[in-house]
């Protein structure tokens, strides 16, 4: 499957476990297709995959890589995530996210992506959603800013629905509050919009 720049980018993911120390780590490597130039013949004589970036991460020993290639910012280029952990008895899947930059032809590690479980692209608002399962259920609406995810709104569902939006000063303000009247299935759904409220 294509990732980043089509036919010029590839990825390698390795998962290592040290049984003696009982620790795990992951190496994520990004490569770019490059030509081999023959100075004597003054022409390209082949191609190689040139290593461009390499990242090292600690990882839990419970889950697999579960890599996903998908467009998370709607720019037409495929980005990359892998599962780095799990929480809430398996309900919160923690993923590390990389966004492809077509100008630099590199991937940007989104440093706080592991703070927002169950990431998905939201085509309705052209943003990223996170579904956080605790005693309540929270849908976070996120924009990519530089190398981080910035939350601009959230919908919290418990015995009531609380909708908050970030104002110009960076503080969250309640814009809607009402009693939750849905069923169990509705309780665990991800919202695609918060004004108006839509699943």
Query: pLDDT of 115-132, one tens digit each?
Result: 999 999 999 999 999 999
Q: Give pTM, 2 decimals.
A: 0.88
| Separation of alpha carbons 144 and 131, rounded Å | 17
Residue 47 has pLDDT above 90, yes or no: no
- Residue 51 exposed, middle or buried by CB count within 10 Å (0-12, 13-18, 19+): exposed
Where is pLDDT greater, at 158 or 22?
158
Share of the chain above pLDDT 70, in %: 94
Interval 2-46: pLDDT, tens:
787 777 899 999 888 777 766 788 999 999 988 876 777 777 767
Length of the chain: 199
| Separation of alpha carbons 190 and 56, rounded Å | 31
pLDDT of residue 162: 96
What are the respective helix, strand and coil percentages of the chain, to the nearest 5?
A: 5, 60, 35
Number of neighbouring beta carbons within 10 Å of residue 9: 23
pLDDT of residue 31: 92
pLDDT of residue 88: 63
């Amino acid at each position: 499957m294509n990732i980043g720049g089509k036919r010029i980018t590839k990825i390698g993911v390795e998962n290592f476990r040290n049984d003696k120390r009982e620790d795990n780590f992951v190496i994520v490597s990004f490569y770019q297709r490059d030509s081999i130039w023959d100075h004597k013949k003054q022409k390209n004589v082949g191609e190689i995959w040139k290593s461009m970036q390499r990242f090292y991460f600690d990882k839990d020993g419970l889950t697999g890589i579960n890599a996903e290639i998908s467009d998370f910012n709607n720019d037409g280029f495929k980005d990359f995530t892998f599962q780095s952990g799990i929480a809430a008895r398996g309900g919160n899947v923690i993923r590390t996210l990389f966004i492809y930059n077509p100008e630099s032809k590199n991937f940007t590690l989104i440093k706080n992506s592991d703070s927002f479980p169950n990431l998905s692209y939201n085509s309705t608002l052209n943003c990223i959603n996170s579904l956080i399962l605790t005693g309540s259920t929270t849908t976070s609406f996120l924009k990519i800013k530089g190398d981080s995810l910035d939350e601009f709104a959230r919908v919290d569902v418990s015995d009531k629905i609380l909708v908050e939006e970030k104002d110009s000063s960076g503080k969250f303000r309640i814009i809607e509050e009402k009693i939750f009247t849905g069923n169990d299935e509705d309780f665990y759904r991800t919202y695609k919009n918060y004004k108006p409220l839509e699943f």
